[in-house]
Structures are given as structure tokens and as C-alpha cells.
Amino acid sequence: MDKHAAYIRGFAERTDNFEYYATEHFRMSGVYWGLTALCLLHRRDDLDGPAIIKWVLECQHEDGGFGGSERHDAHLLYTLSAVQILAIYNELDLVDADKIAKFVAGLQQPDGSFAGDQWGEIDTRFSYCALLCLSILGKLDAIDVPKAAEYVASCRNFDGGFGCTPGCESHAGQVFCCVGALALADSLHLVDRDLLCWWLCERQTPSGGLNGRPEKQEDVCYSWWCLSCLSILERLHWIDQAALSKFILFCQDEEDGGISDRPEDMADVFHTFFGIAGLSLMGYEGLEPIDPTYALPSAVVDRIRQRNGAPS
Ligand code: FPP
């Protein structure tokens, strides 16, 4: 745990390399991955909270949305990450929730779907981002929630899975977004639980790791995309958790910290977060529990629910 924490801290400290600039456009999500992983390792305060909060606020645009970094266009992906970071630091009062809600609501389309930004790409990832962002802010009433759920349900396939738009192939990353969105919209009755969970548990390969689609290679991040759904749908016991834990642990860099997509590959913050998050969902000893729908530490979600007046 010490090595993983040091590995994540290293990203915050090293700003003079190529990787730092090459990842500029998605830094907001990078900060969310690293910070949430540190929270699960009980080391939230390893990062400079006040500096991060200041930077997050600098990335907000006049229209209420946040960019992936300073000088980058506002997008739903980074607006969600920004709101998640502020929720972790219990600093949601620093932003105007109505202004952010207006930005999100402005991206909803007549069919209930969401565009990611002003340029109009539609994807069920953005439905999840919109619903989660507004749920954290206590502003779900800014959008047409039943219509949002109806659109997500229209992306359901014959195998029980979901794709990015109607008719698109089922993909575990999109399944996560759709199940999460339906959970937030209180519409899980639109999921065929047994059919979908059977498809999800078939993602486990002989290595113990999970893949994202049939015939694909296993990858640590699917420990999160698949497991969170199985957890939301109360079928976590349908996969071999001991084998999956072993696979994730095999992907650790035992010298320098960090977790990679599969054994022997190079570690990165994305897979480090999703590996630790997967272990947390399986109750791995010593880790903080994570909420499968909010992708935030459970303690943060309890605080959000209290703030928004819902029972925890
Ligand atoms: C796999 O992508 C993952 C997805 C498509 C889901 C992404 C979800 C979000 C961005 C929503 C926010 C998420 C959280 C946790 C708050 P990939 O491009 O790696 O797929 P591939 O394995 O097929 O290449």
C-alpha cells in the first residue's frame, strides 16, 4: 500500500516530463483516479488538497462545465470528475450547483440521451456522467430522469448487456455506465438481472482476470467495470473472487508501486485505481470500501446523502 501511494504521489510531483503534457486533456479524471485510490488506501491527505481544489475551480467555464485541464473545453466527463473531487474534499459549497446543473441539463437531447459537450457526441457514458453529477449535487430534478432511463434502456441488447448507442455491441464499460445510470434513476427494473449477470460472469478468463467483451484479453480495469455491476445487481458471488484478486495482485509493480492492465505490462494510474477499487469491492483487507454506483469511497457517499437529505 505504501508503494502504491508513493507511485500515485509521484504523478502529482513530476510535472517536467512528456507524459505530464501528453495527458493534459484528461488530467481532471486522472486526479480523480489518483485521489480516490489514495482514499481507498487511507491516504487522502498525501496530496495537496487546497492546491487541487484551487486548480479544479480554475478549470470551470462560464457555462458551468469543467474542462479536463485549464484552457480545455468543458465536457461532461470532466465535470463529473471535478464534482467527485470536490465531494471527496467536502467542498461542494464552493461551486454554484444550479449553474453546473444548467450545463448538464443543456446537454440532454429530446430522446433522453446526453451529448458529452457542445459538439454533440452521444454515448451512454454521458448519461451516467449526467445522472451521477446531478445526484451528487442533489439536482436530479434539473433533467428528465424517466426519459434518460428510457434512452439507456433502448441501448440494451439481446445478451442483456448495453452499448454506447442503440444497436451497439455490449461492452462492460458501457454496461457499468448503463447499470449505474439506471440505479441512479431508480430504474433497475429495466435490467434483465440474471441474463446480464450471466454475461458479466462469463467475462472471467482462465487467468482469473475479467475481459470487457467476448474473445478479448483480460484487463484489470474490468475488475471495476464488471464487478461494480455485479455488486449493484447483488450477484458478486457469481464470479471466482479469489482468482480475480490473485490476478489483480499479479499485476502490481512490486518494486515501484502501481498496477498495470495485465501481468508484466507497465503500471499506470488508471489501472492502479481500478485494481484497488476492484479489490475494495471484494472486501480486501485494509482498504476503505467503495460505492459501486458513485465510484467514490462509501464514507463520501454517506456524507453526500446526508447533505442532500436522503437516508444513508
Ligand atoms: C472502457 O473503455 C470503459 C468504458 C467505456 C467506461 C468509461 C466510463 C466513464 C468514462 C464514466 C466515468 C467513470 C467513473 C468510474 C466515474 P476502453 O476504451 O478502455 O475500452 P476497451 O478496453 O474496449 O479499449
Q: Under DSSP, is residue 28 helix (H, G, I), strand (E, B) or coil?
A: helix
Cα of 32 from ligand 1 centre, angstroms: 14
Residue 164 alpha carbon, nearest atom of ligand 1: 5
Please list the pLDDT of the chain residue by residue as tens digits (312 residues): 999 999 999 988 888 888 888 899 999 999 999 999 999 999 999 999 999 999 999 999 999 999 999 999 999 999 999 999 999 999 999 999 999 999 999 999 999 999 999 999 999 999 999 999 999 999 999 999 999 999 999 999 999 999 999 999 999 999 999 999 999 999 999 999 999 999 999 999 999 999 999 999 999 999 999 999 999 999 999 999 999 999 999 999 999 999 999 999 999 999 999 999 999 999 999 999 999 999 999 999 999 999 999 754
Cα of 77 from ligand 1 centre, angstroms: 11
Cα of 151 from ligand 1 centre, angstroms: 19
Instruction: Give me the pLDDT at residue 130, please.
Output: 98
3-state secondary structure 91-126: CHHHCCHHHHHHHHHCCECCCCCEECCCCCCECHHH
77 CB less than 6 Å from ligand 1?
A: yes
177 CB less than 6 Å from ligand 1?
A: yes
Element housing 36 (H / E): helix 27-40
Cα of 304 from ligand 1 centre, angstroms: 24
Cα of 297 from ligand 1 centre, angstroms: 19
Q: Which of 127, 225, 227 should be mutated for ligand 1, with most atoms under 8 A from CB?
A: 225
The rounded distance, in Å, linking the Cα atoms of 157 and 137 is 31
The closest residue, in CA terms, to atom 2 on ligand 1 is 173
Phi, psi of 162 (to 5 degrees): -135, 150
Instruction: Give me the pLDDT at residue 12, please.
Output: 83
The rounded distance, in Å, linking the Cα atoms of 212 and 203 is 7
68 CB less than 6 Å from ligand 1?
A: no
Instruction: Give me the pLDDT at residue 311, please.
Output: 57
User: Bridge partners of 36?
Assistant: none
Confirm if 254 and 267 have CB atoms less than 8 A apart.
no
The residue behind cell 485494481 is 275
The rounded distance, in Å, linking the Cα atoms of 103 and 63 is 6
Element housing 130 (H / E): helix 124-137
The rounded distance, in Å, linking the Cα atoms of 73 and 7 is 29
Residue 124's contacts (CB-CB under 8 Å, 6 or more residues apart) are 113, 151, 152, 155, 162, 163, 164, 165, 174, 177, 178, 181
220 CB less than 6 Å from ligand 1?
A: no
Residue 274 alpha carbon, nearest atom of ligand 1: 15
Planar angle of CA 85, 91, 93, nearest 5 degrees: 125
Instruction: Give me the pLDDT at residue 14, please.
Output: 84
Cα of 173 from ligand 1 centre, angstroms: 5
Q: Which of 162, 177, 213, 215 should be mutated for ligand 1, with most atoms under 8 A from CB?
A: 177
The closest residue, in CA terms, to atom 3 on ligand 1 is 173
43 CB less than 6 Å from ligand 1?
A: no
295 CB less than 6 Å from ligand 1?
A: yes
Cα of 309 from ligand 1 centre, angstroms: 31
125 CB less than 6 Å from ligand 1?
A: yes
Residue 132 alpha carbon, nearest atom of ligand 1: 16
Q: Which of 84, 128, 229 should be mutated for ligand 1, with most atoms under 8 A from CB?
A: 128
The closest residue, in CA terms, to atom 18 on ligand 1 is 173
